Structure 1
Amino acid sequence: MGVKIQALEYYFPENKVSNEMLRERFPDYDFTKFESKVGIMSRYWVDSNETALDLAEQACLKLFENIDRTQVEYIVYCTQSPEYILPTTACLLQERLGLSRTVGAFDFNLGCSGYVYGLSLAKGLIESGQVNNVLLVTAETYSKYLNEEDRSNRAIFGDAATATFLIKSNREGLKQFAFGSDGSGAEKLIIKNGGTKNSCILNPETKVYGSDNQYTDNNLYMNGPEIFNFTAENIPDFTKKVLEINKMELQNPDYFIFHQANSFMLEFLRKRIKIEKEKFYINMADGGNTVSNTIPIALKRLANDLGNIAAPLSVVVVGFGVGLSWAGGIIEIDNSLI
């Protein structure tokens, strides 16, 4: 028995923010250099009254155009933008979608590695015989965490949601996964206030990092150079480990899809690992860094770009970032993703 992806959809909020629009707000920021280096042309942000749950609902409704919602047996919901501290947002999604009360549902808090972790969790639930299918949802609204004057991060991050339906199959569409974590790097990408350790503070002190980042402890803080160093030090060898546990050589997979953080970092990793350019998929110009959503969005776009897929294609997926955490595995895609 195996597990495969039967369907995948993604959803962006309606509010599209181009680099031209950001240039009007930040006239001194060099967006020409940003576009050539980072590779992002536009991103989508929710309105003030719109949440990640709203995006998740819309992504699932798109999925249900081709999948019978009454078949869903379990919701696995990845978000760092929960509706509330409690209850779990997955339960709210179950009610919104009108799913059976026999459906299992839980959230897990992971960012850029979250989709790969979610695939592994779904694989475990199905292969252990607990359920026949899993609805894996990712949803993020990092725009709500960005300081109004943080030019760098406002240019990078976008909001989105995805819905993936995984089913029991005779084919091993999800192969072996590997994982990593390093909590000592937690403060390299963090929102310090808002949890049980530190509540949000009215009029907190504004801090400056670099020339383009302003934030408070109520906002998202990212030490970009340190995140890059962490990725450069860990992901090349980790990718080789993912190949080894799946008994594959570097030339065997059809494609590689890494977390779409920025094109400069991705090109660095591709060259360091020595992956062929034609096999290394990058598609983030429209949407930007949507955290846990980037890999499923890229998977859907890859399938659409390819058109008819004559036979299942093997794709190495690797996520990395906030936590610090990372995860990787090999999956197969086919025409069901189109």
Structure 2
Amino acid sequence: MAQTNIYSRIIGTGSFLPPRRVTNEELANQLAVRGVETSDEWIFSRTGIRARHFISAEQNTSDLALAAAQNALDAAGLDPQSVDLVIVATSTPDQIFPSTACLLQRKLGISNGGPAFDVQAVCSGFVYALTMADNFIRSGAYRTVLVVGAETFSRLLDFDDRTTCVLFGDGAGAVVLGASAEPGILANALHADGSQAEILCVPGRPQAGVIAGSAFLHMDGRAVLKLAVNVLEKVALEALAKAQLAPEQIDWLIPHQANIRIMQGTCRKLNLPFERMVVTVDQHGNTSAASIPLALDQAVRDGRIKQDQHILIEGVGGGFTWGASVIRF
């Protein structure tokens, strides 16, 4: 008897943004009090960002993840107890340990003993986590996997550094992957280059009850831009080749929402019109591992993404890490 192949498909998406929306103008006014000069025009012209959302003092990353996860499970029509595995991509966990995934599992009331763990690949985290979930399902180990990207980068920002503090925001996005006889996640490609670790990092660490080094985000913007544009084209073409698709067969490109210049550069290199790219960076800023699932959920819920369309997602982040996935929705 022929063995039936097992594939994974996205069966539900969800997202959540903290209520506090901070425009460029509001942020510029706050920074002016600190003697830091910037403006809406300066920020937007360099990044494409108009606003971002910041978490409140009472909230944590797992709270954002919980709301996004609940929305994704509702969209899939599933009870949390049906989730076999929880993976959270984050660089801003609630605490050093336990993992944010375990805290999310508890908040969802999942008591079936399934595993839960975090993935730390910064802005590429969601692609890494999705690839891992896809492999788990294809292997037959699990049938229903919750994958969440959740970040609270506002807590890593040095608001005396206008080159970084204007870029990032907080939020969470989630997908539910289910086992299927029909292919959904068509191909994945992941890479890393640890020799580039210093160009985007938070170099602090806990030591003797205090932070040794800096707990603020550090970025060499020029080096990141140069590397990102180069590797994003290559990894996109690699994933497309694995999926046996040409760039023109992609209905929607959902890149990591870091900077509109990087995003448009990838579009140009793939010869895709800008109209086929999902853009949320203008309203969300860079939400790191949350940015791709946030953009995906928005495009699903507003009707742009339809059944059987092909989607290319890609991200690049500190590590240095990068990756891409090709999805049939």
**Contact conserved, 1:192 with 1:198, CA < 8 A, in 2?**
no
- Is residue 54 from structure 1 mapped to residue 63 from structure 2 by the alignment? yes
Unpaired runs of at least 5, structure 1: 205-216, 334-338
Name the aligned partner's letter for residue 227 of structure 2. Answer: F
TM-score scaled by length of structure 1: 0.89
Aligned-partner Cα distance in 2 for 1:272–1:29: 31
Shift of 1:197: 11
Aligned-partner Cα distance in 2 for 1:124–1:181: 19
**Contact conserved, 2:24 with 2:39, CA < 8 A, in 1?**
no
C-alpha change, 1:77 and 1:279, in structure 2 (3 Å) is same
**Contact conserved, 1:7 with 1:67, CA < 8 A, in 2?**
no
Deviates more, 1:74-83 or 1:232-241: 232-241
Name the aligned partner's letter for residue 10 of structure 1. Answer: S
Show the counterpart of 2:303: 306
- Is residue 18 from structure 1 mapped to residue 29 from structure 2 by the alignment? no
Among 111, 129, 153, the alignment partner of 1:142 is 153
Aligned-partner Cα distance in 1 for 2:288–2:57: 20
Aligned-partner Cα distance in 2 for 1:30–1:46: 22
C-alpha change, 1:275 and 1:198, in structure 2 (3 Å) is farther
Among 210, 229, 232, the alignment partner of 1:232 is 229
Shift of 1:233: 2.4
RMSD between aligned alpha carbons?
A: 2.0
Show the counterpart of 2:99: 88
Name the aligned partner's letter for residue 194 of structure 2. Answer: G
Among 67, 73, 76, the alignment partner of 2:84 is 73
Show the counterpart of 2:12: 7
**Contact conserved, 1:193 with 1:199, CA < 8 A, in 2?**
no
Deviates more, 1:55-64 or 1:128-137: 55-64
- Which residues of 2 match residues 288-303 of structure 1 at below 5 A? 288-303=285-300
Name the aligned partner's letter for residue 237 of structure 2. Answer: K
Show the counterpart of 1:324: 320
Identity of aligned residues (%): 29
Shift of 1:196: 6.5
Aligned-partner Cα distance in 2 for 1:307–1:157: 26
C-alpha change, 1:251 and 1:324, in structure 2 (3 Å) is same
Matched residue of 1:60: which SS? helix
Considering fraction of residues, name the structure with more helix. 2
Among 163, 167, 179, the alignment partner of 1:152 is 163
Name the aligned partner's letter for residue 150 of structure 1. Answer: D
Matched residue of 2:123: which SS? coil
Unpaired runs of at least 5, structure 2: 1-5
Matched residue of 1:318: which SS? strand
**Contact conserved, 2:81 with 2:112, CA < 8 A, in 1?**
no
Matched residue of 2:149: which SS? strand
Shift of 1:2: 1.3
Name the aligned partner's letter for residue 53 of structure 1. Answer: S
Q: Matched residue pairs, number?
A: 318
